[in-house]
A and B are shown apart, each in its own frame.
Chain A
């Protein structure tokens, strides 16, 4: 299906755009990993991990992800014609 060989070198803008798409695809995985980090904080019986610190961590990550997503999607906004002209390579989950 993706047998069509594209050009090896792309214009700088096109290249940037593709990397932005990659970033958009990878963002949920980054989020999943960051959200799972607190599971590693087992704490000890004497000093258990506090809910408040986990809460702070999670909300900071959360806000960071939303901000990152905003930056990425805003720049992806420019490439509307990219989809319609070339079509995306078939995506796989």
Chain B
């Protein structure tokens, strides 16, 4: 006969085992031996906290009352799990890339890290979860009471409340001990997860053991059991379609939204690939969990007195059969279900409460700065521990106040419906970039109000919270506001009715307000990152501005994540930036990483707020983005200007180079000129000196010799004078200081003058002219032009090397330009000399002829002054020069 004392001993031993397992797992994790802790099976088993005591005990009760309907609670999550590719994969990826700490953090992070939204979700989660925790306490006390009634050795029935209190205290202790080891909620709670996994095995084994015993021990095998089912009250399949579909959907929604499920599924997820295993293993697990529920219910209904509580069939059937060991195992299964649920729910809720309510208040109370003295880390940890205690105490209080009656049994679905209100905001946030914070708030508010009014408040029973008149006639007497027949939808099942209206209006408000409102920049950034998480898991909303003091950031981070970790993080960041020491540049990338690191400890909204305090509120705004755009434009303009400038400089440099080259050339020319001039002057001077010395020193010179020498000296002097005249004229012409003496005259007369001045037509040079073409009137400096002609004729006389030298002079008026050609019959000028003949001192051919080589240079200068040109005309059978001059006397500028 199982005694209560034995039960208590076993129970204490079991709890001790759980502590030991959690402790060992934590130690193993710290020592780095965590490969087996990270297996996908452990992950799948941790998901089994979905199966609470409500499902362990309650499922049989549910089945005993309404047949197969209890399956909906498991079918919903099964569909979600096998549809993991749609939502869970995305949620887990986002949870990992954004370092999400809770469902409130997820929703607030998606909608621009809004703390208001986080607070709202947290409150809703607390309200929805508290009755559920009470339900777990109730199931434990009920099962203890069941044992006590069976124990004949004692008449002491343990006090209901004290049992619950004892359980609550123990759970709080365990959760605080293993749930708040590290502040970073994003780090895995290995101890807790291992304990939960063990409990998952225990409860499955217990239920299967009881089921197998009932089927084969009490009911002679499968076919006999099936026959018994067919003979029982629940033999008929008569589940209303609305409830079947509605409850399945509700369970699916709750599976995604329950804070504790989010905790184990997303926050505690070690590896995305674990989902692949969980996608089939979890459905298999819940299938096994529910496999024997109907047989147990049918056998219980058959064998036990009708007054027996069907919720306790799992316990009372083994007790009835005298299987005390099995009964204790069954008790442990129920105990495991209850405790694991409370532990995880408390961790999840305490994270939310401390991150989104306590920490912001504390930050505000301490002057709104994270820079005050004191360790934020210890504050955050204490806040979390107090929150855990607070959540469990709330559950206990609810249990005490509600009296633990049958009203509690219905609270499971009520709680589901409450947290399911997160679904539109959550799914909209994952898949719709247009979802806004205002929309999420509106949807949550609408859903919450309707849930409260239609389901939660009426669940306390008539006239407890809501007066009977409101239930019967609606709020303020409006019959369409009756809580259980909203908008005239009477006759529906209460839960389905409330779920339908709350979800409909929630979704509608969410979509409409989202469509009408305009998101802030940070919402849009976060939205893009959530919805397109598979495209860019990398980029995140960015900080701008470099005002932050790295040192302040380090001080703050040390308080939150601990000195060692913070310093390691900062120095790693500094190394990445190529800086030594502990203080990296507060670049946007670094600030993002830091914020994400901090959000693992205190949640996205708080981390964002803390960093922005130090950053001086420099979050991204449209203005910032525009400023960045402006800056870019300015930089582009500046670089354009630079480019233009450098082009200009290149041009200038090129010009300078050319000028320099010209100067160098000129310098060379000048040197050559000087040496030429000195040479030209020296030759006549030498002969003058020599002959004058002969005249002076030689005594007996004949008169004829004297005359000869004197005339040589005279000739040389004349030549010298001419050379100096030429040089003078050239220098005058080149310096541009020439004054032109313009006169009227005819070309014919000028040519006559020139030919006469050069000695006329002689045997040495026959000159041919066509006088009919020479009748051209001129207005120019006739003397200078004549000089040109004289030089050209003299040249022909000197250099023409033909046997019978001839020079033909032809003139013509070509469209107002006078053209005079001087063509001799000599051998002409070689091609490679043609372009140097107009240079000073250039003489071609043999040097038999006298001359300094200035004639053509002078001609060129004169023509340039007169506004014309003189060019060498190749291909005329001899040396040919063309003089061209505009007849309209457009003179070159003086």
**A16 near B: Cβ within 8 Å?**
no
Residues facing B in A65-88 (CB within 8 A) are 65-70, 73-74, 76-77, 80, 83, 87-88
Q: Contact string, B289-305, partner A, CB cutoff 8 A, digits 1/0? A: 00100100000000000
Give chain A nearest CB distance to B91 CB in angstroms.
12
- Please tell me which stretch of B95-103, B486-494, B529-537, B872-880 contacts chain A, meaning at least 4 of its Cβ atoms lie within 8 angstroms of it: B529-537
Q: Quick one: which of B78, B276, B531 contacts A90, CB cutoff 8 A?
A: B531
B82 part of interface (Cβ distance < 8 Å): yes
Tell me if B80 is interfacial: C-beta within 8 Å of chain A.
Answer: yes
On whether the beta carbons of A51 and B68 are closer than 8 Å, the reply is yes
Q: In the bound complex, how far is the Cα of B84 from the Cα of A73, in angstroms?
A: 10
Nearest chain-B residue to A35 (Cβ)? B75
Would you call B431 an interface residue if the criterion is a C-beta within 8 Å of the partner chain's C-beta atoms? yes
**Quick one: which of B245, B280, B294 contacts A67, CB cutoff 8 A?**
B280
Residues of chain B within 8 A of A69, CB atoms compared:
81-82, 279-280, 283
Chain A, residue nearest B534 (CB): A88
A24, A62, A65, A92: the one contacting B85 at CB < 8 Å is A24
Q: Give per-residue flags for A18-44: 1 if the beta carbon is below 8 A from chain B beta carbons, else 0.
A: 000100110110011001101101010
B284 close to A (CB within 8 Å): yes
The tally of residues in B whose CB lies under 8 Å from a CB in A reads 44
State in angstroms the CA–CA spacing of A33 and B279 once bound together. Answer: 18
Residues on B with C-beta less than 8 A from A65 are: 78, 82, 283
Q: Whose C-beta in chain B lies nearest to the C-beta of A58?
A: B71
* Residue among A49, A50, A69, A93 with most chain B CB within 10 A: A69
Q: Is the CB of A51 within 8 A of B67?
A: yes
- A80–B420 Cα distance when bound, in Å, is 32
Q: For residue A53, which residues in chain B have a CB less than 8 angstroms away from its CB?
A: 237
Report the separation of the CA atoms of residues A65 and B82 in the bound assembly, to the nearest whole angstrom: 8
Q: State the interface size on chain A (CB cutoff 8 A).
A: 44
Report yes or no: B86 in contact with A87, Cβ–Cβ below 8 A: no
Give the chain A neighbours of B68 by CB distance below 8 A: 51, 54-55, 58
Contacts of B431 in A (CB 8 A): 91-93
Query: Is the CB–CB distance between B280 and A51 below 8 Å?
Result: no
Query: Does B236 interact with chain A (Cβ within 8 Å)?
Result: yes
Residues of B within 8 A of A70 (CB): 279-281
Measured between alpha carbons, how far is A92 from B87 in the docked complex, in Å?
10
A6 contacts B by Cβ under 8 Å: no
Known: A24-B85, A27-B82, A62-B78. A54 touches B237 (CB 8 A): yes
Nearest to A54 among chain B residues (CB) is B237
A52 within 8 A of B: yes
Residue in chain B with minimal CB distance to A24: B85
Q: Is the CB of A83 within 8 A of B534?
A: yes
**In the complex, which residues of chain A have a beta carbon less than 8 angstroms from the beta carbon of B80?**
28
Instruction: Report chain A residues within 8 Å CB of B85.
Output: 21, 24-25, 76
B287 touches which one: A28, A59, A87, A93 (CB < 8 A)? A59
**B83 and A27 within 8 A (CB):** yes
A73 touches B279 (CB 8 A): yes
Contacts of B207-237 to chain A: CB distance below 8 A = 226, 229-230, 234-237
Residue A48 is within 8 A (CB to CB) of chain B in the complex: yes
- B351 interfacial by beta-carbon distance below 8 Å: no
Residue B393, interface by CB 8 Å: no
Known: A65-B283, A70-B280, A93-B86. A48 touches B79 (CB 8 A): no
Chain B residues, CB < 8 A from A38? 237, 239, 244
A5: interface (CB < 8 Å): no
Residues 262-311 (chain B) with a chain A CB within 8 angstroms: 273, 276-277, 279-281, 283-284, 287, 291, 294
Chain A, Cβ-Cβ closest to B227: A52
Q: Do A62 and B79 touch (CB < 8 A)?
A: no
| B244 to A, closest residue via Cβ | A39
> Is there contact, CB below 8 Å, between A66 and B283?
yes
In the complex, what distance in Å separates the CA atom of A74 from the CA atom of B275?
A: 11
Q: Is A35 within 8 A of B79, CB to CB? A: yes
Chain B residues with Cβ below 8 Å from A25 are: 83, 85-86
A10 within 8 A of B: no
Please tell me if the beta carbons of B277 and A73 are within 8 angstroms of each other in the complex: yes
Q: Which residues of A contact B294 (CB under 8 A)?
A: 51-52, 55
> What's the Cα separation between A1 and B433 when bound, in Å?
12
Closest chain A residue to B532 by CB distance?
A90
Given A25-B86, A91-B90, does the pair A73, B534 have CB atoms closer than 8 Å? no
Closest to A32 in B: B79
> Is A66's CB under 8 angstroms from B284's CB?
yes
Most buried by A among B229, B280, B281: B280
Cα distance A41–B244 when bound, in Å?
A: 13
Q: Smallest CB-CB separation from B287: which chain A residue?
A: A62
The residue of chain A having its C-beta at the shortest distance from the C-beta of B248 within the complex is A35
Chain A's nearest CB lies how many Å from the CB of B372?
Answer: 43
Q: Does B427 contact A (CB under 8 A)?
A: yes
Question: Whose C-beta in chain A lies nearest to the C-beta of B75?
Answer: A35
CB < 8 Å: which of A1, A51, A68 contacts B237?
A: A51
Within the assembled complex, what's the spacing in Å between the Cα atoms of A80 and B83? 18
Check A28/B237 contact, CB under 8 A, given A67-B280, A74-B276: no
Q: Is the CB of A52 within 8 A of B86?
A: no
B848 at the interface (CB under 8 A from A): no
Interface: A63 (CB within 8 A): yes
Task: Tell me whether B564 is interfacial, beta carbon within 8 Å.
Answer: no
Tell me if B241 counts as interface (CB < 8 A to partner A): yes
Residue of B nearest to A22 (CB): B85
Shortest A85–chain B CB gap in Å is 11
Complex: A91 Cα to B886 Cα, angstroms: 86
| B226-260 with Cβ < 8 A to chain A | 226, 229-230, 234-239, 241, 244-245, 248
Taken together as a complex, chains A and B put the C-alpha atoms of A53 and B245 apart, in Å, by: 19
Are the CB atoms of A28 and B534 closer together than 8 Å?
Answer: no
Chain A hits for B279, CB < 8 A = 69-70, 73
Residue pair B235, A63 in contact (C-beta under 8 Å): no
Q: Chain A residues near B535: list those with CB within 8 A.
A: 87-88, 90
A39 touches B79 (CB 8 A): no
Q: Complex formed: what's the CA distance from A7 to B534 in Å?
A: 20
Residues of A within 8 Å of B226, CB to CB, are 52
Closest 5 CB pairs between A and B?
A28-B83, A70-B280, A73-B276, A49-B237, A69-B280
A-B contact pairs, 16 of them (CB 8 A): A25-B85, A27-B83, A28-B86, A31-B83, A43-B237, A49-B237, A50-B235, A51-B234, A54-B237, A59-B291, A73-B84, A73-B277, A73-B279, A77-B273, A77-B276, A93-B431
Q: Apart from A28-B82, A51-B294, list 7 A-B contacts with CB within 8 A.
A: A38-B244, A50-B229, A51-B236, A59-B291, A69-B283, A73-B279, A73-B280
